[in-house]
A and B are shown apart, each in its own frame.
Chain A
Amino acid sequence: MSKSLRVKTSKFIDETTRVSFKFNGSNYYGYKGDTLASALIANGIHLVGRSFKYHRPRGIMTAGSEEPNAIVQLNNNSARSEPNVRATEVEIYDGLEASSQNCWPSVNFDIGGINNFLSPLLPAGFYYKTFMWPASFWEKYEYFIRKSAGLGKSPTESDPDIYDHKYIHCDVLVIGGGISGIIAAKTAAKNGLDTLLIDEKPNLGGSTIFQNSDHHKINNQTSSSWLEKEISEIESLENLQVKTRTSAAAFHGYNFVLARENLTDHLSLEDRKNKVRQRLLKIRAKKVITATGSLERPMIFNNNDRPGILLSSAVKKYVDFYGVACGTSNVLFTNNDSAYETALSLFKKGIQIKAIIDIRENATSKIIDEIESHGIKIYKSYTIVDTEGYKKINKISIMQLSKDGQSVVGSKINLDCDCLGVSGGWTPAVHLFTQSGGKLKFREEDHVFVPNTYPSKQISIGSCNGEFELDEILKLVPLQIKNFLDVEKTDYENLSVEVSKNLSKRNIWLLPSDKVIGKTKPFVDFQNDATAKDIKLALREGFRSIEHVKRYTTTGMGTDQGKLGNMHALGIIAETAGVKMGELGTTTFRPPYTPLSFGTIVGRNVGEYFDIFRRTPMHDWHVKNNAEFENVGQWKRAWYYPINGENMHQAVQRESKAARESAGILDASTLGKIDIQGTDASEFLNRVYTNAWSKLEIGKCRYGLMLHEDGMVYDDGVTTRLDENHYIMTTTTGGAANVMGKLEDYLQTEWPELDVYLTSVTDHYATISVCGPNSKKIVSKVIPDLDFSDESFPHMSFKNSKIGNIKCRVMRISFTGEHSYEINIQASFGKSVWEKCMEAGKEFNITPYGTETMHLLRAEKGFIIVGQDTDATMTPIDLQMDWIVSKKKYDFIGKRSLYRSDTIREDRKQLVGLLTDDPQIVLEEGAQIVEDVNKKPIEMLGHVTSSYYSPNLNKSIALGVVRGGKNMMGKKLFIPMENKIISVTVADPVFLDKENKRLHA
């Protein structure tokens, strides 16, 4: 560490704790409290990275989150690798590894630097004008463009850290813990309001906390010691919660603020273990006070981007707060009094100030007088026309400004220096305010945009509201707070404040040079290498809107979102186009304020918590019995149960044979179940299903089809009449929630007069379906007291019963075409009843089957699956299910739509069976069906919706939808695959037991 740059002990830095870190592979030391930027500067390092387009050497420019240049890759080649991190925000810790980005082979010697020499060929938007020949070459050009673009490198491993979310509801949220924010938060808390104060920095106090000069005094103390005392009292305030290292990311409508609380990034890797890295705070505040301060502006002059050129306020912060000198021979360049404060700080620490260049003609103030009294040379009405030094500034050239400030006169003076601090005045940080929907107004006298109208209960105070000086702030803020919060008490009225600065400023957006502008490089956006020339070119080419200029030149589109240069871009546009800035407006500030990790936004919802798992009560049994699972909506359904190394096909063939030959058992618990009660329940069903329900006897079941209002099939299932005014409806697994929602919607909004109550009971019951010729014997063993005789318990009927003491409902319904029963029992008994069935069925080789076998069995019977055989374009008529559409009913959901001119057409797609000419070929589901393979362009008639090899029929079977299919029985059609054409014959979709004998066997 070059000792000489550590100037004097700072109380914010713990000089007793050395911290070692690596930068570009070399070891360095800093102190606890240093940022990576301050530690690098202390080690004499300014060159940190290369710019986006020209790969120019770039250094640290700021001391905060607005930093455009000093962005690094942290912990490269590890799981905690992170690109594009601002060195000015990284608190160093033992073991930190940082490296420069966007350079190869190294930041000191970067091949990409050649772009700087090609820069005459690379003006704004050059890529729109070239790389078009030959036409096929764009992808080749693009390969190289992509390689040279980008900044850091994406991580390549999963993130070992965890993230969290937290909701906070408070009376008052104060964003920013500078002097204004402290006053606001304390006032709110002392008046009994539940208050949250957040600040992005590790410490409170903003820039006032190191404002330790006689030129700013509050009640006769330096402003820093006054504020220090104010902060020390915060802990004792009960209603005030303070979160530092917490950056407000987005300010949405209805006072919804997202903030990132950084919890471990400043800790050594060892200390981070098992801790949450970052927490996304979702804050809903009744009132929001924005006190986000202001950002110092750079100035736009030729070669204003070299390492060693910093904002004047950053030079001050490095010396006052971090105890680090940015250079040994400093020059300050300013258009206002701020730089003189920096000069004073440097002077007090014994650091050489070579000169101050002030573009104002006759600025006078007490602080200027003091600087002059120390013998520091001030060049008034001068400007910098050029700088030198490739990897670090070593010289500036200055010339006198003309009266109008548009040109330079006289002779050039060269000054050697190794640091240049620049102050172009201040810009209120209105980003969050505008995100919230606030509208700005332009204040002509000092060229700033300030908040004008608020869209919610919020207020901006202090310098983000355009009050830059301590005396203004302390005069205004307490009153603003009192009014805004509607409280009586504030401790901050009648403070005595002394300030010795002068507010005068001379604003020149683009400073003149002795060279023609075409030969200069006055950067406006430092990260994206957009210059004032680029902006003027865009205007010349007809891009007049600021959004156009921004997009054409990429100004303000870097990772810093143009926090430094945007105002100058606007100024140069306004000036060049001859428009008033107030009329020009600003570009939109889009959230987040500073980039926000995806991991933080996602929080805990990763990995197994990505989405909930819904498991049936028998899930563990399926797992134990080697089931493979299928995702159906959020449900895990047993798909098939392979034994002895079977593949799916083999397992399904075995399962489906067993179900038809003896007995199969299926977990049907995932089907949606809706309990429907009320005196109008039958009428309600009449209106929501296509068929009639009034005459269904108690104890009977009926299949129903539900349509959208547009006439397309929506859902289906069996509904049972449990009692006069009581039904239980089943829905598809995936459709359950939507059906419930739709029924509630119609009931509450269209038919509120109906006496009907709906309850979703899907999760309350386990459903076990036992099918096959031996099903009756099995269920009789499980429920010995129940009369299962066909006379007493025919197909499509239901009985209440008990297994032991536990009530259950038994339905005799079938989705397989086999004689079958469904036992519905309280969910918690599902597994034990399932096991009872397995035990009872042992002698009949009862075989558990999954969804795949279920699909095959129902396809043999030609039963549809909504969502597989239908696709929201199929009416019941298209499904050849005319029988289920009541002609008598006056109305039901979707009825009218069935009679539109295009829904009554005969040549719509209709559901048919398909048999391959070669019975061993199983069609691919989704394959397209044609009549004439030679027709050009080929005409697709429909597609295969379901297809299986049926072990019970010993042939391949399929369902499909075919245009005009219902009149094509026996017709030969073709399935053109990539490498073959399969011929099929249109058949009845019921392939097995058309007479339904098996149901009663």
Chain B
Amino acid sequence: MFVINCPYCGEREQSEFKAGGEAHIVRPKQPTELSDDEWAEYLFMRKNIKGIQYERWNHAHGCRKWFNMVRDTSNDEIKAVYKMGEKPPTI
């Protein structure tokens, strides 16, 4: 189990967090103008990367803030955490 450095609370046990999937998938501003294909791309299609993944986590049993994390999904090494809205670090 990971130790996650919540950008608001500091290092906490993974048990306190919930994962929220791939990050930086922006919800389309004008969904009604998208084709079914484009909408499906937003709704369901995922990179599901083996390697460096940018993803969302929520400190559900803590401050309840959402934040982003960079993690290597091939070995679960956490590379960085950053707040929502912040520029993703390059790893």
Say if the two chains contact directly (CB < 8 Å).
Answer: yes
Smallest Cβ distance from A937 to chain B, in angstroms?
31
B1 x A256 contact (CB < 8 A): yes
A455 x B60 contact (CB < 8 A): no
Is the C-beta of B19 less than 8 angstroms from some C-beta in chain A? Answer: no
Count of B residues near A, CB < 8 Å? 25
Q: Which of A443-451, A507-515, A648-656, A741-749 contacts B (4 or more CB under 8 A)?
A: A741-749
Residues of chain B within 8 A of A748, CB atoms compared: 65-66, 84
A749 x B84 contact (CB < 8 A): yes
A744 x B32 contact (CB < 8 A): no
Across the interface, B2 reaches (CB within 8 A) one of A254, A709, A710, A891, namely A254
Smallest Cβ distance from B32 to chain A, in angstroms?
6
Once bound together, how far apart are the Cα atoms of A752 and B1, in whole Å? Answer: 30
B31 x A896 contact (CB < 8 A): yes
Smallest Cβ distance from A436 to chain B, in angstroms?
12
Smallest Cβ distance from B33 to chain A, in angstroms?
9
Once bound together, how far apart are the Cα atoms of A749 and B58, in whole Å? Answer: 11
Residues of chain A within 8 A of B64, CB atoms compared: 744
**Chain B residue, CB-CB nearest to A708:** B43
Count of A residues near B, CB < 8 Å? 24
Once bound together, how far apart are the Cα atoms of A252 and B84, in whole Å? Answer: 29
Residues of chain B within 8 A of A710, CB atoms compared: 43
Across the interface, A253 reaches (CB within 8 A) one of B2, B34, B65, namely B2
The A-contacting residues of B in range 66-91, CB under 8 angstroms, are 66, 75-76, 84-85
A900 x B32 contact (CB < 8 A): no
Once bound together, how far apart are the Cα atoms of A817 and B56, in whole Å? Answer: 43
**Chain B residue, CB-CB nearest to A252:** B1
Once bound together, how far apart are the Cα atoms of A810 and B56, in whole Å? Answer: 40
A745 x B66 contact (CB < 8 A): yes
Residues of chain A within 8 A of B75, CB atoms compared: 437, 455
Smallest Cβ distance from A712 to chain B, in angstroms?
12
Once bound together, how far apart are the Cα atoms of A750 and B56, in whole Å? Answer: 12
A749 x B31 contact (CB < 8 A): no
Smallest Cβ distance from B50 to chain A, in angstroms?
16
The A-contacting residues of B in range 1-58, CB under 8 angstroms, are 1-3, 13, 18, 20, 27-28, 30-32, 34, 36, 39, 43, 56, 58
Given A741-B60, A752-B85, A254 contacting B66 (CB threshold 8 A): no
Is the C-beta of A895 less than 8 angstroms from some C-beta in chain B? Answer: yes
Once bound together, how far apart are the Cα atoms of A752 and B56, in whole Å? Answer: 15
A741 x B1 contact (CB < 8 A): no
**Chain A residue, CB-CB nearest to B40:** A900
Once bound together, how far apart are the Cα atoms of A253 and B31, in whole Å? Answer: 41
Residues of chain B within 8 A of A252, CB atoms compared: 1
B20 x A745 contact (CB < 8 A): yes
Given A437-B75, A455-B75, A709-B43, A749 contacting B66 (CB threshold 8 A): yes
Once bound together, how far apart are the Cα atoms of A254 and B12, in whole Å? Answer: 12
Is the C-beta of A411 less than 8 angstroms from some C-beta in chain B? Answer: no
Once bound together, how far apart are the Cα atoms of A790 and B14, in whole Å? Answer: 54
Is the C-beta of A673 less than 8 angstroms from some C-beta in chain B? Answer: no
Once bound together, how far apart are the Cα atoms of A901 and B3, in whole Å? Answer: 44
Across the interface, A891 reaches (CB within 8 A) one of B32, B43, B56, B66, namely B32
- Interface membership of chain A positions 883-924, coded 1 if the CB is closer than 8 angstroms to chain B and 0 otherwise: 000000011000111011100000000000000000000000
Residues of chain B within 8 A of A254, CB atoms compared: 1-3
Is the C-beta of A284 less than 8 angstroms from some C-beta in chain B? Answer: yes
**Chain B residue, CB-CB nearest to A760:** B64
Across the interface, A284 reaches (CB within 8 A) one of B3, B43, B84, namely B3
Residues of chain B within 8 A of A750, CB atoms compared: 27
A895 x B3 contact (CB < 8 A): no
Once bound together, how far apart are the Cα atoms of A900 and B44, in whole Å? Answer: 14
A900 x B39 contact (CB < 8 A): yes
Once bound together, how far apart are the Cα atoms of A895 and B39, in whole Å? Answer: 11
- Interface membership of chain A positions 740-783, coded 1 if the CB is closer than 8 angstroms to chain B and 0 otherwise: 01001100111010000000000000000000000000000000
Residues of chain B within 8 A of A455, CB atoms compared: 75
B65 x A897 contact (CB < 8 A): no
Once bound together, how far apart are the Cα atoms of A252 and B14, in whole Å? Answer: 13
**Chain B residue, CB-CB nearest to A900:** B36
**Chain B residue, CB-CB nearest to A750:** B27
Residues of chain B within 8 A of A437, CB atoms compared: 75
Smallest Cβ distance from A191 to chain B, in angstroms?
23
Once bound together, how far apart are the Cα atoms of A284 and B76, in whole Å? Answer: 17
B1 x A896 contact (CB < 8 A): no
Once bound together, how far apart are the Cα atoms of A431 and B42, in whole Å? Answer: 44
Once bound together, how far apart are the Cα atoms of A253 and B28, in whole Å? Answer: 37
Smallest Cβ distance from B25 to chain A, in angstroms?
10
Once bound together, how far apart are the Cα atoms of A709 and B1, in whole Å? Answer: 31
Smallest Cβ distance from B1 to chain A, in angstroms?
5
Once bound together, how far apart are the Cα atoms of A750 and B31, in whole Å? Answer: 14
A749 x B56 contact (CB < 8 A): yes
**Chain A residue, CB-CB nearest to B14:** A254
The B-contacting residues of A in range 270-287, CB under 8 angstroms, are 284
Residues of chain B within 8 A of A896, CB atoms compared: 28, 31-32, 34, 39
**Chain B residue, CB-CB nearest to A892:** B31
- Interface membership of chain A positions 859-891, coded 1 if the CB is closer than 8 angstroms to chain B and 0 otherwise: 000000000000000000000000000000011
**Chain B residue, CB-CB nearest to A902:** B36
Residues of chain A within 8 A of B56, CB atoms compared: 749
Residues of chain A within 8 A of B65, CB atoms compared: 748
Once bound together, how far apart are the Cα atoms of A745 and B1, in whole Å? Answer: 24
Across the interface, B1 reaches (CB within 8 A) one of A253, A895, A900, namely A253
**Chain A residue, CB-CB nearest to B20:** A745
Residues of chain B within 8 A of A709, CB atoms compared: 43
- Interface membership of chain A positions 151-186, coded 1 if the CB is closer than 8 angstroms to chain B and 0 otherwise: 000000000000000000000000000000000000
**Chain A residue, CB-CB nearest to B66:** A748
Residues of chain A within 8 A of B66, CB atoms compared: 744-745, 748-749
Residues of chain B within 8 A of A284, CB atoms compared: 3, 13
- Interface membership of chain A positions 231-266, coded 1 if the CB is closer than 8 angstroms to chain B and 0 otherwise: 000000000000000000000111010000000000
Once bound together, how far apart are the Cα atoms of A634 and B83, in whole Å? Answer: 33
Smallest Cβ distance from B49 to chain A, in angstroms?
19
Once bound together, how far apart are the Cα atoms of A253 and B36, in whole Å? Answer: 42
Across the interface, B58 reaches (CB within 8 A) one of A253, A745, A897, A901, namely A745
Once bound together, how far apart are the Cα atoms of A633 and B34, in whole Å? Answer: 38
Can you report 7 residue pairs joining A to B where beta carbons are below 8 Å apart? A253-B1, A710-B43, A745-B58, A749-B84, A891-B30, A896-B39, A900-B39
Could you list 18 further interchain pairs (A-B, Cβ under 8 angstroms) beyond the known A748-B66, A895-B32?
A: A252-B1, A253-B76, A254-B1, A254-B3, A284-B3, A284-B13, A437-B75, A741-B60, A744-B64, A745-B58, A745-B66, A752-B85, A890-B32, A891-B30, A891-B31, A891-B32, A896-B32, A896-B39
B-side residues, CB < 8 A to A, are: 1-3, 13, 18, 20, 27-28, 30-32, 34, 36, 39, 43, 56, 58, 60, 64-66, 75-76, 84-85
8 nearest CB pairs, A to B:
A896-B31, A748-B66, A254-B3, A750-B27, A900-B36, A749-B66, A896-B39, A256-B1
